[in-house]
Amino acid sequence: MSNEPNASSGMGIADHCKGTFLELHRKKAHRSPSESYEDFRSALPENDCRYAVYDFDFVTSDNCQKSKIFFIAWSPESSRIRAKMLYATSKGRLRNDLDGVHYEIQATDPTEMELEVLRERVH
Strand ranges in 8-93 using DSSP code E only, listed in sequence order: 50-59, 65-74
Considering the entire predicted model, what is its pTM? 0.84
- The total of other beta-carbon atoms located within 10 Å of residue 111's CB is 9
Fold category of 15-122 in CATH? Severin (3.40.20)
The answer to whether the beta carbons of residues 104 and 118 sit under 8 Å apart is no
The answer to whether the beta carbons of residues 71 and 95 sit under 8 Å apart is yes
pLDDT value, residue 2: 37
First to last CA, the chain: 47
71-122 per-position pLDDT tens digit = 999 999 999 999 999 999 999 988 888 999 999 999 999 999 999 999 999 9
Extents of the domains making up the chain: 15-122
Rounded to 5 degrees, φ, ψ at 16 are -65, -25
